[in-house]
Copies of this chain bind each other. A is one copy, B any other.
Amino acid sequence: MTSEIIDKKVGARVFFKCEHLQKTGSFKARGALNSAVLAKENNAKGVYSTLYSLKQIAHSSGNHGQALAWSALKIGVPCTIVVPKNAPSAKIDGMREYQANIVFCEPTMESRESICAELAEKDDKLYVDPHNCVSMINGHASIVFEILDQVGEHIDSIFISVGGGGFASSVAFLIGTLRPDIEVYLVAPEQKELSNLLENGVQCSVSTLNTMADGVRVAHVGSLCEPILRKFCKKRVLNVKEEEIKDALKLIWTRMKQRVEPTAALAFAGVLYHKPNHIKCPLVVLCGGNVDADYIIN
Contact = CB atoms under 8 A, between A and B. Distances in A.
A215 to B, nearest CB: 14
Interface residues of A, number: 17
Contacts of A21: 257
Please name the 8 residue pairs, one residue from A and one from B, whose CB atoms are nearest each other, closest first. Answer: A257-B289, A250-B293, A259-B259, A257-B259, A20-B257, A254-B293, A253-B259, A253-B293
Given A253-B293, A294-B296, 16 more contacts: A20-B257, A21-B257, A250-B293, A253-B259, A254-B259, A254-B291, A254-B292, A254-B293, A257-B259, A257-B260, A257-B289, A258-B258, A259-B259, A293-B297, A294-B297, A296-B296
A294 B298 CA distance: 8
A25 interface: yes
Interface of A: 20-21, 25, 250, 253-254, 257-260, 289, 291-294, 296-297
21 contacts: A20-B257, A21-B257, A25-B257, A250-B293, A253-B259, A253-B293, A254-B259, A254-B291, A254-B292, A254-B293, A257-B258, A257-B259, A257-B260, A257-B289, A258-B258, A258-B259, A259-B259, A293-B297, A294-B296, A294-B297, A296-B296
A74 to B, nearest CB: 11
A25 B250 CA distance: 15
Nearest to A291: B254
**Copies assembled:** 2
Contacts of A254: 259, 291-293
A179 to B, nearest CB: 28
Contacts of A20: 257
Contacts of A296: 294, 296
A253 B289 CA distance: 9
Contacts of A294: 296-297
Max chain B CB contacts within 10 Å: which of A250, A257, A289?
A257
A297 B291 CA distance: 13
Contacts of A291: 254
A224 to B, nearest CB: 30
Contacts of A260: 257
Contacts of A259: 253-254, 257-259
A258 B289 CA distance: 9
A268 B296 CA distance: 23
A194 to B, nearest CB: 27
Contacts of A25: 257
A176 B188 CA distance: 54
A296 B297 CA distance: 10
A198 B13 CA distance: 49
Max chain B CB contacts within 10 Å: which of A21, A254, A292, A297?
A254
A254 B93 CA distance: 14
